[in-house]
Structure 1
């Protein structure tokens, strides 16, 4: 009998784009009822149509344009880098206040170090 190797399961592009959109919108939301505003802020920051973010969240399309998929991927990457910069800045502030020996500083340094690899 011949061995068959399993291939890693990859998400369809629409599902991946929806995951990126949902994650960005949730990170941008400032509280209950702020989803439309969060989508508009992401639209301004990354030149992504707010309608697209809404449809990926609530009425997932069957297909997605490649240009939009890659634009969402770039926006997601930019948001991840933005979050790492914010974490690094907060780490510097916490280190100045609490000192380098504080457990929160050590765990945040480990996270920032893992994010830069």
Structure 2
């Protein structure tokens, strides 16, 4: 059974470390934003294409096999950095802010159209 929680934590930490949004990662990897969101939030645990995981790994500056290895239970040699919990929380908050901002923009755009 794949360990999608490990993938979620690793992605969140790395995105915070690199100051990347879900949209940034999706664009760099050439995958759908929903795919990044699902993996980062562990929303829909299901089998993922090795090609998708490889593209996301590279977008995050890792070797192609990093996320697939994590999903298979291999923690690799990734060191634990001081303040990881704070970094993870900061990354989560940044992501939520970006998502809320996008929602406000969409609401404002819909309001402009209905005038």
Q: TM-score if structure 2 supplies the norm length?
A: 0.39
Larger radius of gyration: 1
